Structure 1
């Protein structure tokens, strides 16, 4: 027993320096990097009534801090503490793996309950993990605790946002909800922590200053034949969504999601809440066809968001008298003016962002890595792309060998001022003025069945030549998302094997949205563009362009193999024979 006590004390002493007292918001937090990033609860930063705050550490010092990113649905916030001297580093906690937790494991909760720690030394409580993969209903669409950790380790008002550690000193969760009696002053032995594995999925978005959202698939499920392993999850209601475009319909059975076989609606909600809006993940669904045969379909689905109430939920049970956040957010009548703090220089407001300042930092870092593969800023003249390959659209699954040439003229439009995109595919001519309001919708989607390849190539040149300046309507870092390079064997998608995590840029220009995927490998490919998607209509499928076989072209590297997809079908596989780019005359 003595040895166990000594080990517990050693772990506490090792992790204690990373625990944060969030003074302005009246809660706790934990440092997760040496440069001062720290996790806490959304409702703690909401109570701060502004993005600039003060935090205390067990070293006895008070530090200026600023809000970085928000996950309102999941009740998580990322803040950044500023060092006393440039270059100083902070102690930080190591992130653990919350999926390894089991009921009965011991845990340590640390924080600043009742805001009594005048010297910022955190209190420590020790207790059991009572349950894992728990679900707690949200308040509206906010403060939804999915796949959370239930603990009997005491947490009280002021512990909100503080760390939950395992006995190896690894951060396994962020303390949030607790069940309190006597008007919130006495702990009843039931608390909930947000799992660190869920937070890991959102962390790149939080570091990019985003106001993130959680996922919805756009349909409602009910459980039929609840007999343990025989239970089936049946689609009972569906709205216009990517899932619907992928073929999901009412009365289909959802078999698996994100690689997990489904057993109950509760489990499905837990899984869905782990992922951010916009991610693309695999699902498997079944149906009985007209011939009474069972069809099984596996496909990728883009996840919708939940904050806009995109999916009606008739009959959903109310939250009931369950646990609620400790201090809780206070209503705002408008943020107060920013205090005179060094942290105010690190805050930039913008709609849709928690702090656009940090998004700009991520943009600059990613674009710097991207431009190492070639700076095409001087090639503002015409671009010509000559290819041969296989066209699948309208000619059957075997495809047809074709020649396809594309030209992007910088001033080829009728007014001699704006661009013109021309394409010759299998002898058929297509042209598009991407900035013209007079172009018909069908022309913007040319060539037919490509989803708008001419527009996509124009947007690609825009990124290569102008970077962020080419997208004045909108240009932002989107965090990290899964990306699925094409598979040579189309009959076996094997999404888990194909998946790579890629950094994302989001753009809007010429009335269309773009999403650009970049390699985040720690090698010479870091920052290389892997592919992109261009949406002519947010309620339709995008034109997907996958890039491979990069080679040197006039001082930079450009792809020499392209796969173009639209919906569930490959439009064409093209091999680039020549790139030609000109400087402006």
Structure 2
């Protein structure tokens, strides 16, 4: 029997009406938040920024300031100020500035929130100046979305927040905000396709946690650059251990900061500052979040027990290993040592003239053209940092004997 269609249509219409009402209510709820947030937004150099304290301290991306030190900026409430660079991190793409205010003057601001408290699915708002739209109507643009992923590595952004909140060129340096009006990230990168500079659904923000760690360094930088830190003297590897993948310390350079901190070959790295380390990628991401001079606590497992080793991070320092290499001849792209300087890391490691480099840290050397040879040559001569521990496999020819393969341990210093 055919049932009347009218009730079905009514139910569908009612469901649509309720859904539309819910959406309208949801959008309406954002209005007071946008009103609250807008005055602390900063138009700067074609990009974005945000004021994070009443005395005019503000954050943006390093790529927004483009090497400049002073700026004319305008807040979302229409007021204009001079801003001066305090410090910058070119590698991590973060910069801090301060607005020049009169004595006792304060400005609207948004506090830095707790990005560690975020969960995938949390709602967020991005405030920015996409494609320079704010130049037209003198007002920033607001977009809404959710947290798509956490603890992500995107190029030089480590431990960053991934969001589907729409961000585009011009949003760089602007805030990623929670529903309670706190800044949990600084938007800086987007995923693109086909070479088009427009968002394809994913944006990447530097976490508020990272910003908080770097702020004291920026305040003391005098307008200069603050470098990232590392633990020199360690070589790592991933291995199966106890049915799971572990990050192990493969080697520790004698006399290095790592040796002084108490690290030993064979230590399993469990975590850094209570954050777990399941892979080498995660290890690099966590270390990459900190500036030089920062002290981390590294949890390791050794001989069945667990230890916590403090380590102060130092800035990378490039150094030469003291070896030069023969130029390619015709199609011969073998990497052969042409000479070794006395008293250098290469000489100490036992590298000799005529040795052919086969592997470095387990990576086989297989070159396809002269450009690749030139790139490798530059890396071998000046591409290592002080304290790097290198496992180098060479093929050595001895007159009257078959060539032999040797494993050498080279410490850059």
For residue 86 of structure 1, report the CA deviation from its aligned partner: 4.1
Note if contact 2:129-2:140 (Cα within 8 Å) is conserved in structure 1: yes
Distance 1:105 1:70 in 2: 29
- For residue 223 of structure 1, report the CA deviation from its aligned partner: 1.9
Three-state SS of the structure 1 residue aligned to 2:293 is: coil
Distance in structure 1 (CA, Å) of the matches to 2:77 and 2:296: 44
Q: Name the CA shift for 1:59/1:280 in 2 (closer, same or farther; >3 Å).
A: closer
Sort the Cα spacing of 1:111 and 1:315 in 2 relative to 1 into closer, same or farther, 3 A: farther
C-alpha distance in 1 between matches for 2:313 and 2:182: 31
CA deviation profile, 1:278-299 (whole Å, cap 9, x unmatched): 12222233445xxxxx464433
Residues 282 and 301, structure 1, Cα contact 8 Å, conserved in 2: yes
The reply on whether 1:3 has 2:25 as its aligned counterpart is: yes
8 A contact 2:262–2:309 mirrored in 1: no
Give the match for residue 146 of structure 1.
158
Q: Which runs of 5+ in 2 are unaligned?
A: 1-21, 322-359, 364-385, 388-413
Q: CA deviation at 1:57?
A: 1.5
CA contact (8 A) 1:241 1:304 kept: no
| Residue equivalent to 2:238 | 223
Q: State yes or no: 1:192 paired with 2:204.
A: yes
How far does residue 68 in structure 1 lie from its aligned partner after superposition?
Answer: 0.8
Q: Indicate yes or no: 2:231 matched with 1:211.
A: no
* Counterparts of 1:99 and 1:17, CA distance in 2: 26
State how far apart, in whole Å, the 2-side matches of 1:213 and 1:82 are.
26
Counterparts of 1:20-59 in structure 2, within 5 Å, are: 20-23=42-45, 26-46=46-66, 49-59=67-77
Report what 2:214 is aligned to: 202
Deviation at 1:131, TM superposition (A): 0.2
Counterpart in 2 of 1:284? 299
Tell me, what secondary structure is at the counterpart of 1:3?
helix
**Which of 313, 318, 327 is residue 303 of structure 1 equivalent to?**
313
Pair 1:252 & 2:267 matched? yes
Partner of 2:247: 233
Q: Which residue of 2 aligns with 1:77?
A: 95
Distance (whole Å) between structure 1 residues aligned to residue 138 and residue 362 of structure 2: 46
Matches within 5 A, 1:398-417: none
Change (3 A) 1:185 1:264: closer
Rounded Cα–Cα distance in structure 2 between residues aligned with 1:126 and 1:202 = 27
Q: What's the secondary structure of 1:177's corresponding residue?
A: strand
CA distance in 2, matches of 1:298, 1:182: 47
Equivalent position of 2:339 in the other structure: none
SS at match of 1:44: helix
Give the C-alpha shift of residue 62 in structure 1. Answer: 3.0
The CA deviation string for residues 186-211 of structure 1, in whole angstroms up to 9 with x for no partner, is: 21111100000111011111122352
Give the direction of change, closer, same or farther, for the CA distance of 1:12–1:299 in structure 2 (3 Å limit).
same
Counterpart contact for 2:169–2:198, Cα < 8 Å: no
Out of 278, 284, 287, the residue aligned to residue 272 of structure 1 is 287
Is 1:128 the counterpart of 2:140? The answer is no
State yes or no: 1:18 paired with 2:40. yes
State how far apart, in whole Å, the 2-side matches of 1:275 and 1:310 are.
22
Larger deviation, residues 297-306 vs 8-17: 297-306
Shift of 1:152: 1.1
- CA RMSD, 1 decimal: 2.7
Match of 1:406 in 2: none
Q: Pick from 114, 130, 136 the counterpart of residue 97 of structure 1.
A: 114
2:81 to 54, 58, 63: 63
Contact 1:147 1:271 in 2 (8 A): yes
On the 8 A contact 1:179/1:191 being kept in 2, the answer is yes
CA distance in 1, matches of 2:173, 2:229: 22
Structure 1 residue 27, shift from structure 2 partner: 1.0
* Structure with the higher fraction of residues in helix conformation: 2
Answer whether contact 1:163 1:171 (CA < 8 A) is retained.
Answer: yes
Deviation track 1:44-102 (CA, whole Å, cap 9, x = no partner) reads 112xx42111111222233211111112222100011223x543311000211001111
Equivalent position of 1:479 in the other structure: none
Q: Superposed, which structure 2 residues align to 1:445-460 within 5 Å?
A: none
Q: Distance in 2 between matches of 1:126 and 1:309?
A: 43
Work out which of the residue numbers 105, 108, 116 in structure 2 matches 1:88: 105
| TM-score, with structure 2 as normaliser | 0.67
Could you say if the C-alpha distance between residues 309 and 9 of structure 1 is closer, same or farther in structure 2, counting changes exceeding 3 Å? Answer: farther
Query: Any stretches of 5+ residues in structure 1 without a counterpart?
Result: 138-143, 289-293, 317-537, 540-585
